[in-house]
């Protein structure tokens, strides 16, 4: 696999989009692994320093996934 940015051999894969990235072009970003209701409201577990290509743009707000829902008769 080659780096999406420069074409060098990739050293890792972007956690968000799957592009290959080399050590020279990789960036880091936190990644939320799970969210759950806690005693003080919504809480979550995140991992710091996850590989990010710097090209893709993870959305800061949730996206509706209506297309995954099935309409089953009651």
β strands within the chain, DSSP E: 12-13, 20-21, 27-38, 41-52
Q: How many domains does the chain have?
A: 1
- Residue 55: inside a domain: yes
- Residue 2: inside a domain: no
**How far is CA 44 from each of CA 20, 32, 56, 60, rounded to the nearest angstrom?**
27, 7, 23, 15
pLDDT at 74 over 70: no
The whole-number pLDDT of residue 15 equals: 96
- Residue 6: inside a domain: no
- Residue 26: inside a domain: yes
pLDDT at 4 over 90: yes
- Residue 4: inside a domain: no
The whole-number pLDDT of residue 72 equals: 57
- Residue 1: inside a domain: no
Reported as a single tens digit per residue, the pLDDT across 5-57 is 999 999 999 999 999 999 999 999 999 999 999 998 999 999 999 999 999 99
């Amino acid at each position: 696999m080659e780096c999406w940015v420069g074409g060098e051999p990739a050293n890792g894969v972007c956690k968000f989009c799957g592009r290959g990235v080399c050590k020279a072009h990789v960036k880091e970003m936190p990644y939320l692994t799970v969210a759950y209701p806690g005693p003080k409201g919504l809480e979550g577990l995140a991992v710091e320093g996850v590989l990010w290509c710097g090209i893709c743009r993870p959305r800061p707000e949730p996206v509706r996934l209506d297309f995954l829902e099935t309409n089953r008769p009651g």
